[in-house]
């Protein structure tokens, strides 16, 4: 049986960013400790019920770092015992704001080997717009501290489509990231989700339009690849060998367990998730069933997010049939116009195609 | 010849909003035809209740019993008339059924276009006019001035005219007394062969068609065989009677001078059309009453279900509406752009709007309609003349000698300070000036010949806005005139979208083409590929726009492991595609069609 991934959701944040619709709240110190206890119990009971090994652990949120080094250590250790493989990728999302050397050392020493930090922008006016508490200098210090402690695999989140963002300001952000020498960058085009500050105040901000955002995206892909940070997914770039193993499980339509309020799981063909409700999770409520997953459409939808796209061999290995002819036929117009490419190995979207992937997927799937 | 001294048959005529329906309500109330507790506002209002709510049998005509001051009880038959030029023929038939008409004039607004138009119509039928000055309760009321105006403009003495407020009920009794004293009673012609004028007919699902008639000569009773003189169709009379506001009151017979209804298991209103004469097969009249003509649709458009699956429902709905509306015509039509639908014919734009609204409201249909067209006469080089109401039947321009379009005689009444604005508007609409008549110190009548297709969209709305609501407008159909009519096509991505083609005067084509192209550009969402929009006459492109290709439609983040959310978005996107009209690779939302149709509203 294949190893699975484990996702732990830490629903606490110091403050809510204006673009974020993930489940989080500020939380009291006692709640954080209690949550750690309950989550640890869930981890242990799930491990013993599942009888599966995991080779990725991803602690995300929210802001996991607000849980404190000690609590995070408790959770990581709980996962390592009897569950994680020795070479497992263990990622923790950290807020660069007030990240101390001691904190980073604690994570490093308990086995965390990948740190994700929200840079979003290296231009402080843009960072403030996004509600980030730290300035550019603090991010730089946090990254350098982590590197000094021994973290090689550090990823930065960068955002496109920030109000008032220009090609010039994006370049500044990219140059800054590259100068720090990180091997992985996630670059998300801002999507205004309902129930966020940005949505409610969308008319007050000057968001770059779709054309400019598309230009920024293409420019970014090129800039990063010139530095050897290669695109491997719509929004993810890395040096060879530093691809996020955990996120690849999602995109390869492989199995994972998610624990914590709002965390999603895909196990034994079933999808399920925990309610977006802290108390419900604390009370030990069962996850909510979300139907069956893993059919070809879903598999294709996810794999086509990747630069490698749909691979004939992998498809026939998993489904016992080739990529349907119909899919190639429907894709022809997109191939002819540079939105997709195909060869005997399979079919994939190009960069131009990624930008239009919703439309294309709706056409071909 | 003897008279039926106690019968009075009358209509109420007025310019729109001068209080026709409210006065009718008061008359019903005062004669206790309707108990006060049953009184609902505007009981007889044809347009709202009949035409919108459909086949409920409220009185189109109603019988009132009135005990006058002379001690006699009179049978007053009030025949209500529709108030719009689209239904002019029906108004004319209603008037033909009467001996008199109450002419209402608003005490503040005075004589308006339809006041005059209706007055002339009434005089054409030799009706005795009973002027009534209404709305004297309004602060702006000036009954003396208005009375003078009526005398000056219409030549109708107004010294004795009741000055009333239908709203408050003030002086309403005077109206009834005036009707009794001024409107002549009908003649007694009971011994003649039956001749009854059909002034309306409605479909009832239990009784079949209910025919509203004025008996001019003779008698009719259940068991008689009635014959429609225009069609020759015969039916066995099942029931005759009087109309009361809330019920029908069966009688043994109807006799000359009376107004009432006949039922005879008639299947469609087309068998008992307004204006036809009813006689009996047993003792037929030799000549029908004057003036029957079949009402023909003037305005045509394609009506398509937004969802192709509703085609049959649309057909059924149209069939049901036609049961009650002989003027509505429809036949199946296919459009490359819109699929299966119907080419429908209407009396005018109001009629079109009413039908469309009823289809949408009462039958729950989501519709797409094409640009309305009038009937053009196209003279071909081989000498043939063809009539065209559908741009897709427009012949190859090489075979066209010339075209003719229908015109109307229009009268616009307004205070003199708006003459300039009105003349500009009429000029814009290709109007030909005939003359100006000064009706009174503050009222002129501008007489124009206007092409029908220039007034069917929005003429009245624009007129109102350019004259701050002071102008009124009336028209009647005139003859066909030679005109430079061409067909304008819309091409998306190089393909003609047949549903958007329309016929237009060549001088107006360029401006219109540019506006439509812009409007389409604004209303067609950006798609994968660039979409050229072209407006063309024949093969010649006269305007173009481009909808740029969409650049970005992507979910940058995959919501952690929440794949279901992404899947739902994909499903939603596919659903969205289904609601679009597809032309090759181009998807056009319904709103884009609507936007083009509404072009003139701005």
For the purposes of burial, counting CB atoms within 10 Å of the CB of A104, is it exposed (0-12), middle (13-18) or buried (19 or more)? buried
State the CATH number of the domain containing residue A108. 3.20.20.70
CA gap B434, B451 in Å, rounded: 14
Q: Which residues of B touch A334 (CB under 8 A)?
A: 528
Clarify whether residues A246 and A300 are in a common domain: no
Paired tokens of A186 = 């996630």
Clarify whether residues A25 and A174 are in a common domain: yes
H/E segment holding residue B356: helix B349-362
Residue from B181, B143, B185, B150 nearest B164 by CA: B143
Residue A84 counted as domain residue? yes
Grade residue B57 by pLDDT with cuts at 50, 70 and 90.
Answer: very low
Is residue B165 within 8 Å of B63, Cβ to Cβ? no
Is residue B393 within 8 Å of B399, Cβ to Cβ? no
pLDDT at B579: 67
Clarify whether residues A65 and A198 are in a common domain: yes
Q: Do you find a cis peptide bond into A62, omega within 30 degrees of 0?
A: yes
CA gap A41, A47 in Å, rounded: 10
Residue A64 counted as domain residue? yes
pLDDT in tens, chain A (365 residues): 899 999 999 999 988 888 888 888 898 999 999 999 999 999 999 999 999 999 999 999 889 999 999 999 999 999 998 999 999 999 999 999 878 999 999 999 999 999 999 999 999 999 988 888 788 999 999 999 999 999 999 999 999 999 999 999 999 999 999 999 999 999 999 988 888 889 998 888 889 999 999 999 999 999 999 999 999 999 999 999 999 999 999 999 999 999 999 999 999 999 999 999 999 999 999 999 999 999 999 999 999 999 999 999 999 999 999 999 999 999 999 999 999 999 999 999 999 999 999 999 999 99
Looking at A78-92, B107-121, B525-539, which range is the least confident one? B107-121
Give the total number of structural domains in chain A: 2
Clarify whether residues A120 and A51 are in a common domain: yes
Give the closest of A291, A293, A301 to B570, CB-based: A301
Tell me which residues of chain A, numbers 155 to 174, contact chain B at a CB-CB cutoff of 8 Å: 160
Paired tokens of B365 = 């249909």
Clarify whether residues A219 and A331 are in a common domain: no
Most confident of A311-315, B228-232, B351-355: A311-315
Chain A: nearest CA to B369, how far in angstroms? Answer: 29
Name the pTM for this structure.
Answer: 0.68
Instruction: Find all residues with CB under 8 Å of B133, minimum gap 6, and list them.
Output: B104, B105, B107, B143, B146, B147, B150, B158, B161, B162, B163, B164
Residue A122 counted as domain residue? yes
Clarify whether residues A86 and A197 are in a common domain: yes
CA gap A18, A126 in Å, rounded: 12
Clarify whether residues A234 and A171 are in a common domain: yes
Domain boundary among A250, A280, A307: A250
CA gap A243, A227 in Å, rounded: 16
Q: Hey, are the CB atoms on A265 and B557 less than 8 Å from each other?
A: no
Mutate to test the interface with A, among B548, B556, B558 (most CBs of A within 10 A): B556
Helix (H, G, I), strand (E, B) or coil at B221: coil
Clarify whether residues A115 and A29 are in a common domain: yes
Mutate to test the interface with A, among B554, B579, B584 (most CBs of A within 10 A): B554
A86 touches B: beta carbon within 8 Å: no
Expressed as residue numbers, the domain containing A362 is 296-365
Mutate to test the interface with A, among B561, B565, B576 (most CBs of A within 10 A): B561
Percent of all residues in chain B with a pLDDT value above 70, rounded to a whole number: 92
Clarify whether residues A235 and A311 are in a common domain: no
Residue A83 counted as domain residue? yes
Count CA within 13 A, CB hemisphere, residue A281: 28
Q: Which residues of B touch A355 (CB under 8 A)?
A: 551-554
Residue A265 counted as domain residue? no
Q: Hey, are the CB atoms on A258 and B561 less than 8 Å from each other?
A: yes
State the CATH number of the domain containing residue A323. 1.10.10.920
CA gap B576, A363 in Å, rounded: 11
CA gap B136, B296 in Å, rounded: 40
CA gap B280, A89 in Å, rounded: 100
A26, A95, A98, A156 from A139: Cα distances, Å: 22, 9, 9, 10
Give the closest of A253, A256, A356 to B528, CB-based: A356
Residue A261 counted as domain residue? no
Residue A353 counted as domain residue? yes
Average pLDDT value for residue range B32-48: 52
A346 touches B: beta carbon within 8 Å: no
Clarify whether residues A60 and A141 are in a common domain: yes
Q: Hey, are the CB atoms on A359 and B553 less than 8 Å from each other?
A: yes
Clarify whether residues A245 and A302 are in a common domain: no
Clarify whether residues A319 and A217 are in a common domain: no
Chain A: nearest CA to B557, how far in angstroms? Answer: 6
């Amino acid at each position: 049986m294949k190893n699975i991934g484990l996702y732990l959701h830490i629903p606490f944040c110091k403050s809510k960013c204006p673009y974020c619709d993930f489940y989080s709240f500020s939380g009291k110190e006692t709640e954080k400790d209690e949550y750690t206890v309950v989550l640890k119990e869930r981890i242990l009971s799930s491990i013993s019920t599942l009888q599966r090994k995991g080779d990725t652990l991803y602690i995300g949120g929210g802001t996991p770092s607000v849980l404190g080094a000690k609590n995070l250590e408790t959770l990581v250790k709980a996962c390592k015992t009897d569950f994680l493989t020795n070479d497992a990728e263990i990622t923790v999302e950290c807020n660069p704001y007030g990240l101390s050397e001691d904190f980073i050392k604690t994570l490093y020493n308990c086995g965390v080997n990948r740190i994700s930090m929200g840079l979003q922008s290296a231009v402080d006016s843009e960072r403030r717009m996004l509600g980030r508490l730290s300035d550019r200098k603090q991010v730089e210090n946090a990254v350098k501290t982590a590197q000094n402690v021994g973290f090689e695999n550090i990823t930065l989140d960068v955002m496109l489509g920030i109000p008032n963002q220009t090609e010039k300001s994006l370049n500044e952000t990219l140059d800054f990231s590259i100068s720090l020498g990180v091997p992985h960058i996630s670059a998300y085009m801002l999507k205004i989700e309902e129930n966020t500050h940005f949505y409610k105040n969308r008319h007050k901000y000057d968001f770059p339009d779709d054309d400019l955002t598309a230009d920024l995206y293409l420019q970014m892909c090129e800039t990063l690849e010139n530095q050897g940070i290669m695109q491997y997914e719509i929004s993810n770039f890395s040096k060879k060998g530093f691809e996020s193993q955990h996120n690849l499980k999602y995109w390869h339509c492989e199995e994972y367990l998610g624990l914590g309020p709002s965390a999603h799981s895909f196990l034994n063909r079933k999808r399920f998730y925990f309610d977006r409700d802290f108390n419900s999770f604390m009370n030990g409520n069962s996850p909510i069933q979300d139907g069956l997953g893993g059919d070809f459409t879903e598999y294709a939808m996810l794999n086509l997010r990747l630069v490698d796209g749909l691979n004939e061999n992998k498809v026939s290995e998993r489904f016992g049939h080739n990529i349907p002819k119909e899919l190639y036929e429907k894709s022809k117009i997109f191939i002819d116009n540079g939105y997709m490419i195909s060869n005997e190995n399979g079919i994939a979207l190009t960069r131009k195609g990624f930008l239009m992937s919703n439309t294309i997927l709706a056409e071909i799937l | 010849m003897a008279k039926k001294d106690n019968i009075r048959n009358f209509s109420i005529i007025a310019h729109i909003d001068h209080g026709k329906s409210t006065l009718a309500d008061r008359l019903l109330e005062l004669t206790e035809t309707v108990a006060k507790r049953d009184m609902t506002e505007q009981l007889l209002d044809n347009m709202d209740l009949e035409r919108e709510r459909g086949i409920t049998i409220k009185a189109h005509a109603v019988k009132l019993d009135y005990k006058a001051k002379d001690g006699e009880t009179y049978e007053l038959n009030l025949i209500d008339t529709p108030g719009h030029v689209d239904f002019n023929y029906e108004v004319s038939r209603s008037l033909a059924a009467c001996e008199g008409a109450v002419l209402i004039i608003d005490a503040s607004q005075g004589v308006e276009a339809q006041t005059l138009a209706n007055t002339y119509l009434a005089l054409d039928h030799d009706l005795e006019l009973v002027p009534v000055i209404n709305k004297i309760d309004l602060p702006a009321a000036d009954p003396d001035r208005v009375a003078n105006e009526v005398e000056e403009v219409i030549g109708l003495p107004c010294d004795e005219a009741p000055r009333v407020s239908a709203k408050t009920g003030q002086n309403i009794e005077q109206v009834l007394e005036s009707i009794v004293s001024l409107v002549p009673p009908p003649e007694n012609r009971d011994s003649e062969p039956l001749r009854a004028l059909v002034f309306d007919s409605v479909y009832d699902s239990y009784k079949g068609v209910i025919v509203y008639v004025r008996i001019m000569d003779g008698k009719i009773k259940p068991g008689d065989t009635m014959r429609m003189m225009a069609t020759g169709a015969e039916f066995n009379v099942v029931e005759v009677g009087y109309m009361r506001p809330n019920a029908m009151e069966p009688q043994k017979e109807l006799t000359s001078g009376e107004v009432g209804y006949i039922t005879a298991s008639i299947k469609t209103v087309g068998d008992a059309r307004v204006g036809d004469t009813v006689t009996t097969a047993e003792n037929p009249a030799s000549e029908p009453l004057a003036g029957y003509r079949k009402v023909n649709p003037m305005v045509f458009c394609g009506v398509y279900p937004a969802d192709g699956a509703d085609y049959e429902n649309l057909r059924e709905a149209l069939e049901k509406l036609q049961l009650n509306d002989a003027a509505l015509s429809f036949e199946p039509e296919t459009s490359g752009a819109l699929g299966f639908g119907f080419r429908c014919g209407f009396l005018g734009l109001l009629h079109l709007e009413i039908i469309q609204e009823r289809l949408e409201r009462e039958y729950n249909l989501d519709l797409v309609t094409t640009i309305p067209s009038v009937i053009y006469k196209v003279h071909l080089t081989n000498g043939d003349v063809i009539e065209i109401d559908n741009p897709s039947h427009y012949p190859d321009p090489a075979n066209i000698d010339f075209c003719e379009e229908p015109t109307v005689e229009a009268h616009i009444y307004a205070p003199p300070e708006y003459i300039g604005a009105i003349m500009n508007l009429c000029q814009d609409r290709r109007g030909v000036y005939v003359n100006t008549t000064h009706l009174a110190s503050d009222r002129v009548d501008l007489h124009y010949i206007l092409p029908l297709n220039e007034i069917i969209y929005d003429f009245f709305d624009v007129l109102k806005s350019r004259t701050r609501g002071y102008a009124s407008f009336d028209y009647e159909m005139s003859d066909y005139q030679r005109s430079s009519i061409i067909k304008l096509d819309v091409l998306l991505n190089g393909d003609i979208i047949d549903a958007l083609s329309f016929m237009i005067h060549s001088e107006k084509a360029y401006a219109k083409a540019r506006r439509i192209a812009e409007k389409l550009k604004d209303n067609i969402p950006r798609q994968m590929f660039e979409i050229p929009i072209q407006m063309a006459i024949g093969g010649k492109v006269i305007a173009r726009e481009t909808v740029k290709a969409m650049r970005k439609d992507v979910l940058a983040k995959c919501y952690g492991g929440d794949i279901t959310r992404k899947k739902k978005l994909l499903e939603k996107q596919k659903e969205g595609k289904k609601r679009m009209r597809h032309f090759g690779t181009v998807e056009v939302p319904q709103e884009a069609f609507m936007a083009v149709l509404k072009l003139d509203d701005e």
